[in-house]
Amino acid sequence: MKNKTSIISVLFLFAVLLLAGGCSYAPSSGGAEDTTGAEATAPDTDTLIENEAKEIIDNMSLEEKVAQLFFVAPEALTYEESMTECDETFKDALSAYPVGGIIYFSSNITDEKQTKKMIKDTKAYGEKVCKVPLFIGVDEEGGTVARLSGKEGLDIPAIPDMKIIGEGGDPQKAYDTGAEIGAYLADYGFNVDFAPVADVLTNPENTVVKDRSFGQDPNTVSQMAISLSEGLNDKGIISCFKHFPGHGATTGDTHEGFAYTDKTLEEIEQSELVPFKDAVNAGAQLIMVGHISLPNITGDNLPASISPIIINDILREKLGYKGVVITDSLSMGALTDILGADEAAVNAFEAGSDILLMPEDFTLAYDGVLNAVNSGSISEERLNESVVRIIKLKIKALRSDK
């Protein structure tokens, strides 16, 4: 009798604990609120930004989405000789073609007041007609490739070649240089700098990036490029690592025509790819693909910028890059010698590029991509994929309330 009473007592106590929720494994009823699962599945910041980007493109026309792929000089829209102000001609052109970005050159820049007003007006009008902020870009590497530093009429000291920074071997100096460049670019209104050069100078006869490269050692180039990028980023400037998969082994100049390296994938993994792999791991937001050919890797002479093997297989899959891919200028000889502006734009996009930089003929290139989407040779899903990447970067880096 005593044992029976003890068993009943234990069962009664167990029932009380269940009712009180004291057993962690007690199943919850279908109507009970369970906040644990909600907390575990709360979307992260990147997911929230991606969802916002998708909502934005849901309200874009097909034409507006295609326009977002292009990063062009203002004259590509106006067909004027040199634009130095955001005039009515430019506004009309931007309304018709709300492109993703505008790149300025020395011919667009006369003095500080003019440049700041031109960019301020362009950004304001661009956000109005493009639904998202404009990329405002410039080639400001320092040394021989600089549109502002050392220019007559601007009170900006000349920046040395990156070769000199690399020879010093001090990443802090590279960071300080990036921060210096970033500070005056941000002051003028720019938000994208097509720097740093992440090319490893493996061929001493290379003249294209000879003084623009940080040097011959891949680890030094990697450290310097990432440090310079961080300096730019800390001043609010989007940096762009270039020219994937590395222009330092060539002798030819892709500005003029065909340029190649006969290196294998295993060989460039030991040198040219090192800075880009490290940049990806460091969170690179924008990578520029060059026009060099790598026949021993791709099995053909296609320039990297229109090669799915280089962009999708190596940069995206092998290196794990999730950010925005931009081509080098599509008006360079390596492409214009073999393709029309429409073909170059379509091929680069089909190969995996997101942003198409400076086609030889913008209208022809734009129509080429638009026609390809309308015909189904490029799916709208593929188009949306790139536009989402572009707008995500704009939300992260350019939105005023970020």
Q: Under 8 Å CB-to-CB from 356, ≥6 apart: which residues?
A: 69, 70, 71, 326, 327, 330, 345, 348, 349, 365, 369
**Cα-Cα end-to-end distance for the chain:** 73
Q: Look-up: residue for tokens 């020879």?
A: 167
- For domain 42-397, which architecture applies? Alpha-Beta Barrel (3.20)
d(CA 383, CA 387): 6
Strand ranges across the sheet with 238-239: 238-239, 192-193, 135-138, 101-104, 70-72, 356-357
Which residues, 6 or more positions from 163, have their beta carbon under 8 angstroms from its beta carbon?
143, 210, 211, 212, 213, 214, 215
pLDDT average, residue stretch 118-144: 96
247: annotated active-site residue:
no
Mean pLDDT, rounded, for 112-132: 96
230-267 burial code (b ≥16 CB/10 A, e <16): bbbbebebbbbbbbbbbbbbbebbbeeebbbbebebeb
Other CB atoms closer than 10 Å to residue 88's CB: what's the count?
A: 8
Q: How far apart are CA 289 and CA 303, in angstroms?
A: 9
Give the pLDDT confidence score for residue 400 in this predicted structure: 57
Q: Which helix (H) or strand (E) holds 50?
A: helix 45-58
Residue 252 has pLDDT above 80, yes or no: no
Q: Residue 29 pLDDT > 60, yes or no?
A: no
Question: pLDDT, tens digit, for every residue of 60-116?
Answer: 999 999 999 999 999 999 998 899 999 999 999 999 999 999 999 999 999 999 999
If you search the block for the tokens 């990147």, which residue do you land on?
46
Quick one: which of 142, 138, 155, 167 has its CA closest to 228? Answer: 142
Report domain extents, the chain. 42-397
| Mean pLDDT, residues 135-141 taken together | 98
What is the reported pLDDT for 253? 63
Which residue type, as a one-letter code, is found at position 246? Answer: G
d(Cα 390, Cα 400) in Å, to the nearest integer?
A: 16
Three-state DSSP at 346 gives helix
pLDDT in tens, 211-245: 999 999 999 999 999 999 999 999 999 999 999 99
Closest CA to 325 of 317, 333, 336, 334: 317
Lowest mean pLDDT among 3-12, 270-279, 290-299, 386-395: 3-12
Active-site choice (170, 217, 255, 313): 255
Against a cut of 0.85, is the pTM above it? Answer: yes
pLDDT at 275 over 90: yes
pLDDT tops 60 at residue 289: yes
Give the chain's mean pLDDT.
Answer: 89
328 given a catalytic annotation: yes
Containing 228, the helix (H) or strand (E) segment is helix 218-234
Q: Which residues contact 59 (CB under 8 A, 6 or more apart)?
A: 131
Choose, from 161, 211, 328, 354, the residue flagged as catalytic.
328
Amino acid at 128: K
| Cα separation, 331 vs 362, whole angstroms | 10
Residue whose tokens read 């003029």: 256
Rounded to an integer, the average pLDDT of 48-52 is: 94
Over residues 281-289, the mean pLDDT reads: 98
Inter-residue contact 133 to 94 (CB < 8 Å): no
